[in-house]
Structure formats: structure tokens, C-alpha cells
Amino acid sequence: MAALADRLAGGLEAFERGGLRRARHVAQGDAIDFSSNDYLGLSRHPRLIAAAKAAIDAEGVGARASPLVTGYLGIHARAEERFASFTGLPRALLFASGYAANIGILTALADRSAEIFADKLNHACLNDGARLSEARFTRYPHGDLDALEARLAASTATLKVVATDAVFSMDGDVADVPRLLAACERYDAWLVLDDAHGIGVLGATGRGVLEHHAARSPRIVYMATLGKALGGYGAFVAGTPIVIDWLVQRARTYIYSTALPPSVAGAAIAALDVVDSEPHLLAALRRRVAEFRAACEALGVPLAPSTTAIQPVIVGDAARALEISRRLAARNMHVVAIRPPTVPEGTSRLRISLSAVHTRPQVEALAAALAEDLRS
């Protein structure tokens, strides 16, 4: 046992030396949070809180079983119907998390006869789902769709799946869905879209990347989370009826997990209703993004070319990113330093997430603090 523990201790020491050891900190309510994914401020919206409480009163705290046993409740069915309607897709299925959804999708769609093509900067859950599927796993350089098409053309697999983030969580850039879809049409592939950071944020009415690009196809398998702009927890997958029925039969992360608590489904329905009925929240978020970018440009703070709520400041060195994060914390600004392996070596960054609940003075003060700290 001592040798095993020593091995772990040595690994932890290596993380520490490289500035890569992670630590949890209890979130402080008095700090201005520039790191959460609560892009519309819905996690504390009174309509979501009321809906969650009402669901607990009606259905209890837990679902009590997996969906295929006795855990599938009326409120889950209503949430799925609401999400399908919201996205304009025929059917939807509620999963325990975005991670579980993506693993469920890829392991259900693909097998050893398949080849999965993935953007190099995809979220870990898409990579893990591809590996667990036992399909051939082929990655292409970030955003390089010429490279993707070359790999699709060369593939001899009997089944092809292209899997990509819709909004890349560490860079904030948006995938070229029309061109991805055209490639999938040309080479007869499924297109799996992870819209975790696009739902509620992209599109004229916040319906996500499909609205943003006016994209529609029966070969799209669309996943979006409830835990970011929609303020809650869990995820949905939407697509054609046959895709959703296949996932019910084959997605192990759906079949073998206890269904989400009723309160989560109730809050999800309320979140979609709020996005529809309170468009000022999305408008406020977009103003904050524009104001922050304008302030950074005026002060010489380099930003990635993102128009989404994710505004990364690339620092490079992990230790320096941590030090700037600490300085911002001393100013009562919570900005997390993101380091490898979450991002590639040499690209450690401050991942700034803006929200509709931020104010113009707050985002301009952040830009000023960044300008000062980056110079020192």
C-alpha cells in the first residue's frame, strides 16, 4: 500500500511543480463571478426556483429509479416535449448530464465498424465517448474542415460520425455548422453537435447553434445542457424519432442511470419559458460582451476572436495565469486560470465568462484590472 500511495504522492508533487495541481475553493458570494457558465443568470431566477419547488411538492425529491423502470415521470415527458419544441426538432431525450449524454450518443451510434471524426479541441466527454465506442477515433486540427473532408474521403468505415463542440468552451469560437453538415451529407455521416455553450446564447432568440446557422437535417444529433445558460442541471439530446428511440434502446448512460430529480425537469421547462418570454436577458448579455471587448481593445488587452459569452485571455505560462487570477481575486473578481491538460501546453489562460447579470461598470473594471495585471 505504501508504494501505491507513494506513486500518487509523486504525481501530485509533479503537478505542483508544474503549476498544474488543482484545488477546490468554496465559492464566495461577495466576489464578482467571471467564471461561471450561468450566462443568462437563470440559476437564481425566481421562476426557476418556483418551478423546482412546485415539482418537489408534486413529485418528491427523487425519481426513484431509472427511466426504463419507474423513474420516467410526467414532468420528464413534458420537459422533453418542451425542449423538442424549443429547438424545432421532432423528439428529445433527457439525460443526467452533458457528459453522460455525449458518451451515450457516441457509444450507441458507433461500434468497431465505425469511424468517429472529432475536432482537436472538442470537450473531453466527446473524446471519451469516441474511445468507449470502440470505433476508430480520428481527430482533425481545430476548425480545419479541409482536413476533415480529406479524412472522410479516405475512410473505409461502414459508418461515419462527425462529432464537434458547437461553441468551443475554452476559446468561445463557433463551429461552421453549415460546412460540417455539407461534409456529412457528401460522405453520408452523422453530425453530433454539442451545443452546451450555445443553447440560450446563440441565435436571434437564444435557441442555439441551429438557429444561429439556420441549420436543419435529419442526420443532426443535437445535444444541449441545462447547466449553463439554462441555469440548472442535466442535458437533452434531440433529433429524429428513430434516433431518439435508438438511444432509449442502446444509450447505456440513459438506461442504467436514475432519472433526473423532478425539480430539475421542472426548472428546465421554466428556463425555456424564460428564454422565450424575457428576451432582455439575452440582449443584456450581448451588450456586456460588446462593452467588455470594446474596453479591452481600448486598453490593449488581447482577446481571442470570440463573439460569445466566453472571452479568453491567453497568458501562456500556467504559473503566470495562476498569479494573475490571484491578483484579480484580491480585487474581488473571480476569474479562474485554465491550465493543461484542459488546454494545450503553452496556452494557459484566464477564461472569462460574461453574464446578463453583470453590469457595464463591472466588465469595464475587469478590463482595467486585466490591463494592469498583464503589464506587471
The ranges assigned to domains in the chain are 46-277, 279-375
Annotated binding-site members for substrate: 22, 123, 342
**pLDDT score, position 220:** 98
Confidence label for 23 from pLDDT (cuts 50, 70 and 90): confident
* Cβ neighbours of residue 155 closer than 8 Å, sequence gap 6 or more: 115, 117, 138, 187
Q: What is the pLDDT of residues 295-350, one digit of tens each?
A: 999 999 999 999 999 999 999 999 999 999 999 999 999 999 999 988 999 999 99
Rounded average pLDDT over 2-11? 89
Percent of the chain whose pLDDT exceeds 90 = 92
87-136 pLDDT tens trace: 999 999 999 999 999 999 999 999 999 999 999 999 999 999 999 999 99
Confidence of residue 139 (pLDDT cuts 50, 70, 90): very high
**pLDDT above 80 (res 85):** yes
Query: Taking the model in full, what pTM does it have?
Result: 0.93
CA distance 139 to 174: 18
Region 42-64 average pLDDT: 97
Dihedral over Cα of 203, 205, 206, 207: its sign? negative
| Catalytic annotation, pick one of 76, 160, 197, 212 | 197
Query: Among 160, 212, 213, 228, which one carries the catalytic annotation?
Result: 228
Summarize pLDDT for 286-309 with one digit per residue, the tens: 999 999 999 999 999 999 999 999
Cα angle value 7/8/11 (rounded, 5°): 90
Q: Alpha-carbon distance 244 to 78, whole Å?
A: 16
DSSP code per residue over 98-161: HHHHHHHHHHHH--TTEEEEEETT--HHHHHHHHHHTSEEEEE-TT-HHHHHHHHHH---SEEE
Is it the case that residue 28 has pLDDT exceeding 80? Answer: no
**pLDDT, average across residues 275-282:** 98
Give the residues across from 224 on adjacent strands: 236
Check the CA dihedral 193-195-199-205 and report its sign: negative
Binding site: what residues are annotated? Answer: 22, 98-99, 123, 169, 197, 225, 342
Work out the percent of the chain whose per-residue pLDDT is above 70: 100
The binding site for pyridoxal 5'-phosphate consists of 98-99, 169, 197, 225
User: Is 157 a residue whose pLDDT tops 80?
Assistant: yes
Q: What angle do CA 367, 373, 375 make, to 5 degrees?
A: 105
Query: For position 250, what pLDDT does the model report?
Result: 97
Q: Is the pLDDT of residue 26 over 90?
A: no
The chain-wide mean pLDDT, for the chain, equals 96
Residue 24 has what pLDDT?
78
Q: What whole-number distance in Å separates Cα of residue 44 and Cα of residue 374? A: 33
Q: Would the pLDDT of 21 be above 90?
A: no
Task: Say what the pLDDT of residue 17 is.
Answer: 85
pLDDT of residue 238: 98
* Tens-digit pLDDT profile for residues 177-232: 999 999 999 999 999 999 999 999 999 999 999 999 999 999 999 999 999 999 99
Phi and psi, residue 133, nearest 5°: -70, -20
197: annotated active-site residue: yes
pLDDT for 80 = 98
Q: Which pLDDT score is estimated for 4?
A: 87
Is the pLDDT assigned to residue 30 strictly greater than 80?
no
- 169: annotated active-site residue: yes
pLDDT at 364: 98
Q: Does position 259 have pLDDT exceeding 80, yes or no?
A: yes
Out of 43, 169, 306, 353, the active site residue is 169
User: How far from 35 is each of 26, 154, 175, 296, 345, CA to CA, in Å?
Assistant: 14, 41, 22, 17, 21
Average pLDDT in the 50-65 region?
A: 97
Residue 278 pLDDT: 98
**Which CATH number does 46-277 carry?**
3.40.640.10
279-375: CATH number: 3.90.1150.10
Residues 18-42, mean pLDDT to the nearest whole number: 87
pLDDT at 1: 84
Distance CA(18)–CA(188), nearest Å, equals 44
